[in-house]
Amino acid sequence: MPSSAFAATPYPVQGSPDNHLWLQCWRERRTAFHQSVVNPQLCRFWPTLELAYGSRVFVPLCGKSLDMIWLAQQGHEVIGVELSTVAVRAFFQENGLKAVKRRVGKFVLWRSGKLSILCGDYFALTPADVGLFDTVYDRAALTALPETIRGLYVAHLQRLMPKIVQVFLLTIEDAADTADLSAAMGIDTEINTLYSAEFAITLAYVESVFEDNSAAPEQPTRAEYKVYRLTSK
């Protein structure tokens, strides 16, 4: 997965500097980030948002996530954005969905029933392309981008957003120190820095998990799974 460091990039971004790496990942089927089941934290905590049936959910950097299928099954209209045509085609094909395609601005919109994906660069999206939405679902979107561009991701999200929106944000963070359970993790600080000016932030859930480490089996790695609810002020 791309994880390069970049100098601060001025806005507007002419494509994230990692774009070619993501396109290559999809071409070469290096997609370990893709989950073969619906995210358990999504199923567990999404209902706490108490959204109206039929409300519209924006899924930035959506890949071919099965979470979109689940969201549509809950009655939502889903609008994703994804850079790679390989990913978008796979999403519809692998789920047995026949998509209709049409051009929208700089994007190709793929649509089947309640599920739509705009294929192209998130940073090129305009509010007219994406339309109105009530909620943002972010799993491995913000954190997929180089740290130097995450502020631009949030600033762009705010340009796209109607006034009142909730963001449902899932993060996974690897601990630097597996022994010390209280060892500081940096993601809270980053979420605060990026979102606190415009959003009230609630950390709804934290789970600390030890995971197998094939490089050093006697030293499992520790990861923290977090669920944040952000509500526009």
Site for ligand SAM, rule CB under 6 A = 16, 19, 22, 26, 33-34, 61-63, 65, 81-84, 87, 121-123, 139-141, 144
CB of 15 to ligand SAM, least distance (A): 6
- As measured in angstroms, the least distance from the Cβ of 8 to ligand SAM is 17
Please, which residue, 8 or 179, has the CB nearer to ligand SAM? Answer: 8
Three-state DSSP class for 157?
A: helix
CA neighbor of 19 nearest in space, from 4, 31, 35, 7 = 4
Give the β-pairing of 221-232 and 199-211: antiparallel
Closest CA to 83 of 18, 12, 33: 18
Which lies closer to ligand SAM via its Cβ, residue 36 or residue 182?
36
The least distance separating ligand SAM from the CB of residue 233, rounded to whole angstroms, comes to 26
Q: Which is nearer to ligand SAM, 16 or 171 (CB)?
A: 16
Q: Is 131 left (phi over 0), alpha (psi -120 to 50) or beta?
A: left
Classify residue 88 by its DSSP letter: H
| Shorter beta-carbon distance to ligand SAM: residue 72 or 87 | 87
Q: Which residues have a Cβ under 8 Å from the Cβ of 158 and sit 6 or more positions away? A: 198
In the bound complex, what is the minimum distance in angstroms from residue 99's beta carbon to ligand SAM?
17
Single-letter code of the amino acid located at 137 = Y
Q: Across the chain, where does the E strand assignment appear? A: 56-60, 77-82, 100-104, 107-112, 115-119, 135-139, 166-174, 199-211, 221-232
Cα–Cα dist 72/87, whole Å: 18
Q: How far is the CB of 19 from ligand SAM (least distance, A)?
A: 6
Nearer to ligand SAM by Cβ, of 62 and 230: the residue is 62
Nearer CB in complex with ligand SAM: 72/81: 81
Q: Which residue is nearest to ligand SAM (CB)?
A: 63
Tokens 């959910």 correspond to 57
